[in-house]
């Protein structure tokens, strides 16, 4: 079955360490996204990528970095510069083709806790 796989489901890190969250999709989607979810808030866009080797900052990109070397993969690195990294991170993809009715498909998320 096609879908989006995020790993790991839970991640614990010490403050000051960089950490990379994995996101893989086998939906053959062009566009991939990273969102952050905090309790009582809507999802906020961190980065997105419409095509391999290209990505754009979202609304809260500071302290994060991404790469898009393969169509299927869009890893997110949470750097030590991110002031408040503890959150639930969601990866999504869509069949971007200039069509605005392509809904987002989400992975099951990674819960990151930094102490």
Query: How far, in whole angstroms, is CA 92 from its chain's centroid?
Result: 7
First-to-last alpha carbon distance for the chain, in angstroms, is 36
Shortest separation between residue 90's beta carbon and other proteins, angstroms:
6
Torsional sign, CA 42, 44, 48, 50 = positive
Q: Of 16, 42, 53, 84, which one interacts with other proteins (CB under 8 A)?
A: 42
Residues in the interface with other proteins (CB under 8 A) total 27
Shortest CB 14 distance to other proteins, Å: 24
26, 56, 62, 113: which one contacts other proteins (CB under 8 A)?
A: 56
For residue 102, state whether it binds other proteins (rule: CB under 8 A): yes
49, 55 Cβ separation under 8 angstroms:
yes
Q: Which of residues 82-101 bind other proteins (CB under 8 A)?
A: 90, 92, 94, 96, 100-101
* Residues forming a β-bridge with 5: 24
């Amino acid at each position: 079955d096609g879908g989006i796989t995020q790993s790991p489901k839970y991640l614990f890190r010490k403050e000051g360490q960089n950490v990379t969250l994995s996101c893989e999709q086998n939906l053959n989607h062009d566009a991939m996204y990273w969102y952050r979810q905090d309790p009582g808030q809507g999802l906020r866009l961190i980065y997105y990528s419409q095509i391999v080797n290209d990505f754009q900052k979202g609304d809260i990109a500071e302290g994060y970095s991404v790469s898009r070397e393969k169509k299927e993969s869009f890893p997110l690195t949470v750097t030590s510069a991110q002031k408040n990294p503890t959150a639930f991170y969601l990866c999504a993809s869509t069949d971007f083709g200039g069509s605005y009715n392509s809904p987002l498909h989400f992975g099951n998320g990674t819960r990151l806790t930094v102490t």
